[in-house]
Chain A
Amino acid sequence: MPTMPIRKNLFVSSVFLVGNIFLSTPKVIAEQTFSIGAIPDQNPERLNRLYKLLSEELSEKLEVKVRYVPVINYTAAVTAFRTGNLDLVWFGGLTGVQARLQKPGAKVIAQRDIDSKFTSVLIANKSSGIPTIKNIKDLKLLKGKRFTFGSESSTSGRLMPQYYLEKANVTINSFKGKRPGFSGSHDATLALVQSGSYEAGALNEQVWKANLSRKRVDLSKVKVIWRTPPYANYHWLAQSNLDKRFGKGFTSKLKTVLVGFSSKSPRQKEIMKLFGAKKFVPANANQYVEIELIGRKLGKIK
Chain B
Amino acid sequence: MKKIYLSSPILCLLPALAIIPVLTNLILNIHLGGVYLLLDFLKSAITPSTDKLVILSAIKGLGITATIAISSWAISSFTGIIIGIISSNKFWIFLKGPSWLGKSIRRLLAFPRSIHELIWGLLLQSTLGLSPLVAIIAIVIPYSALVARVVADQIDTIDDRSLIALIQAGTKPINALITSIGPAILPTIISYIGYRLECSLRAATILGIFGMGGIGSELELSLRSLEFNEMWTSLWLLIFSIFAIEELLDRFRLWLFTKSSSGRRIIISLILVIIITIMSIILLYIQNQGLFLDIRWNTVKLTDIQKLLIAFNELDWLNLYADTLIMTLLAAGIAIGIPPLTLLILPAEIGGKFLTIIWTFFRAMPIPLTALILLLFTTPSIYVATLALAVQNIGVLGRLLKEGIEQQKNELFHSVTSTGAKMRSAWLYSRLYSESKSYLGFAAYRTDVLLRETAVVGVVGGAGLGWQLQESLSSFDWAQVILIISGYSTLTLIGEAISEYSNNNWINSSNSTPSHHSLQY
Whether, in the assembled complex, A74 has its beta carbon less than 8 Å from a beta carbon of chain B, the answer is yes
Say yes or no: B379 contacts A146, CB within 8 Å: yes
The stretch among A50-58, A189-197, A249-257 that forms the contact with chain B is A189-197
- For chain A, the count of residues having a C-beta within 8 Å of the partner chain is 63
- Bound-state CA distance A146–B380 (Å) is 9
Whether, in the assembled complex, B498 has its beta carbon less than 8 Å from a beta carbon of chain A, the answer is no
Whether, in the assembled complex, A301 has its beta carbon less than 8 Å from a beta carbon of chain B, the answer is yes
The stretch among A18-26, A106-114, A228-236, A278-286 that forms the contact with chain B is A18-26
Give the one of B37, B281, B376, B380 with max A CB within 10 A.
Answer: B380
Say yes or no: A28 contacts B293, CB within 8 Å: yes
Known A14-B277, A21-B292, A69-B130: A152·B186 in contact at CB below 8 Å? no
Say yes or no: B33 contacts A83, CB within 8 Å: no
Say yes or no: A84 contacts B476, CB within 8 Å: no
How far, in Å, is A100 (CB) from chain B's closest CB?
Answer: 12
Say yes or no: B29 contacts A188, CB within 8 Å: no
Within 8 A of A (CB), among B449-505: 462-463, 470-471, 473-477, 479
Say yes or no: A1 contacts B178, CB within 8 Å: yes
Say yes or no: A1 contacts B128, CB within 8 Å: no
Say yes or no: B182 contacts A195, CB within 8 Å: no
Q: Which listed residue, A17, A44, A199, touches B281 by the CB 8 Å rule?
A: A17
Whether, in the assembled complex, B31 has its beta carbon less than 8 Å from a beta carbon of chain A, the answer is yes
Say yes or no: B34 contacts A197, CB within 8 Å: yes
Whether, in the assembled complex, B217 has its beta carbon less than 8 Å from a beta carbon of chain A, the answer is yes
Whether, in the assembled complex, A3 has its beta carbon less than 8 Å from a beta carbon of chain B, the answer is yes
Count of chain A to chain B residue pairs whose CB atoms are closer than 8 Å in the complex = 160
- Bound-state CA distance A72–B65 (Å) is 16
Known A7-B78, A183-B224: A76·B130 in contact at CB below 8 Å? yes
Interface string of A266-302 (1 = CB under 8 A from B): 0000000000000000000000000000000001111
Whether, in the assembled complex, B110 has its beta carbon less than 8 Å from a beta carbon of chain A, the answer is no
- Bound-state CA distance A43–B220 (Å) is 12
Say yes or no: B281 contacts A18, CB within 8 Å: yes
The stretch among A115-123, A174-182, A202-210, A237-245 that forms the contact with chain B is A174-182
Say yes or no: B37 contacts A197, CB within 8 Å: yes
Complex: chain A residue closest to B314, CB-CB:
A299
Say yes or no: A4 contacts B178, CB within 8 Å: yes
Say yes or no: A75 contacts B270, CB within 8 Å: no
Complex: chain A residue closest to B78, CB-CB:
A11
Complex: chain B residue closest to A193, CB-CB:
B33
- Bound-state CA distance A80–B220 (Å) is 20
Complex: chain B residue closest to A76, CB-CB:
B211
Interface string of B1-43 (1 = CB under 8 A from A): 0000000000000000000000000000101111011000000
When distances are taken between beta carbons in the complex, the residues of chain B under 8 Å from A125 are: 33
Complex: chain B residue closest to A37, CB-CB:
B130
Say yes or no: B34 contacts A196, CB within 8 Å: yes
Say yes or no: B129 contacts A10, CB within 8 Å: no
Interface string of B260-273 (1 = CB under 8 A from A): 00010011001101
- Bound-state CA distance A79–B127 (Å) is 8
- For chain B, the count of residues having a C-beta within 8 Å of the partner chain is 66
Within 8 A of B (CB), among A116-140: 125, 127
- Bound-state CA distance A234–B270 (Å) is 54
When distances are taken between beta carbons in the complex, the residues of chain B under 8 Å from A84 are: 129, 296, 298
Complex: chain B residue closest to A11, CB-CB:
B78
How far, in Å, is A302 (CB) from chain B's closest CB?
Answer: 4
When distances are taken between beta carbons in the complex, the residues of chain B under 8 Å from A32 are: none
Q: Which listed residue, B183, B186, B379, touches A176 by the CB 8 Å rule?
A: B379
Say yes or no: A25 contacts B292, CB within 8 Å: yes
When distances are taken between beta carbons in the complex, the residues of chain A under 8 Å from B225 are: 43-44, 185, 187-188, 191
Whether, in the assembled complex, B126 has its beta carbon less than 8 Å from a beta carbon of chain A, the answer is yes
Whether, in the assembled complex, B179 has its beta carbon less than 8 Å from a beta carbon of chain A, the answer is yes
Whether, in the assembled complex, A78 has its beta carbon less than 8 Å from a beta carbon of chain B, the answer is yes
- Bound-state CA distance A178–B129 (Å) is 34
Whether, in the assembled complex, B75 has its beta carbon less than 8 Å from a beta carbon of chain A, the answer is yes
Whether, in the assembled complex, B433 has its beta carbon less than 8 Å from a beta carbon of chain A, the answer is no
- Bound-state CA distance A43–B225 (Å) is 7
Say yes or no: A72 contacts B298, CB within 8 Å: no
Say yes or no: A98 contacts B128, CB within 8 Å: no
When distances are taken between beta carbons in the complex, the residues of chain B under 8 Å from A72 are: 210-211, 217, 220-221
Say yes or no: B37 contacts A82, CB within 8 Å: no
When distances are taken between beta carbons in the complex, the residues of chain B under 8 Å from A300 are: 474-475
When distances are taken between beta carbons in the complex, the residues of chain B under 8 Å from A247 are: none
Say yes or no: B475 contacts A302, CB within 8 Å: yes
- Bound-state CA distance A73–B263 (Å) is 49
Known A13-B274, A28-B293, A80-B129: A153·B474 in contact at CB below 8 Å? yes
- Bound-state CA distance A127–B33 (Å) is 9
- Bound-state CA distance A197–B226 (Å) is 11
When distances are taken between beta carbons in the complex, the residues of chain A under 8 Å from B29 are: 176-177
When distances are taken between beta carbons in the complex, the residues of chain B under 8 Å from A152 are: 470-471, 474
Whether, in the assembled complex, B381 has its beta carbon less than 8 Å from a beta carbon of chain A, the answer is yes
Whether, in the assembled complex, A93 has its beta carbon less than 8 Å from a beta carbon of chain B, the answer is no
When distances are taken between beta carbons in the complex, the residues of chain A under 8 Å from B273 are: 10
Interface string of B78-108 (1 = CB under 8 A from A): 1001100000000000000000000000000
When distances are taken between beta carbons in the complex, the residues of chain A under 8 Å from B376 are: 192, 195, 197
Say yes or no: B33 contacts A196, CB within 8 Å: yes
Q: Which listed residue, A76, A176, A181, A184, touches B125 by the CB 8 Å rule?
A: A76
- Bound-state CA distance A195–B473 (Å) is 31
Whether, in the assembled complex, B285 has its beta carbon less than 8 Å from a beta carbon of chain A, the answer is yes
Q: List 14 A-B contacts (CB under 8 A).
A: A6-B274, A10-B274, A71-B130, A72-B211, A76-B125, A76-B130, A83-B129, A146-B379, A176-B379, A179-B381, A182-B462, A195-B226, A299-B314, A299-B475
Nearest 9 CB-CB pairings of A with B: A196-B33, A83-B129, A72-B211, A177-B379, A179-B462, A302-B477, A75-B474, A85-B129, A83-B298
Given contacts A10-B274, A14-B78, A179-B380, 11 further A-B contacts (CB under 8 A): A2-B263, A3-B186, A21-B285, A80-B130, A83-B129, A102-B476, A177-B29, A184-B224, A185-B225, A192-B376, A302-B479
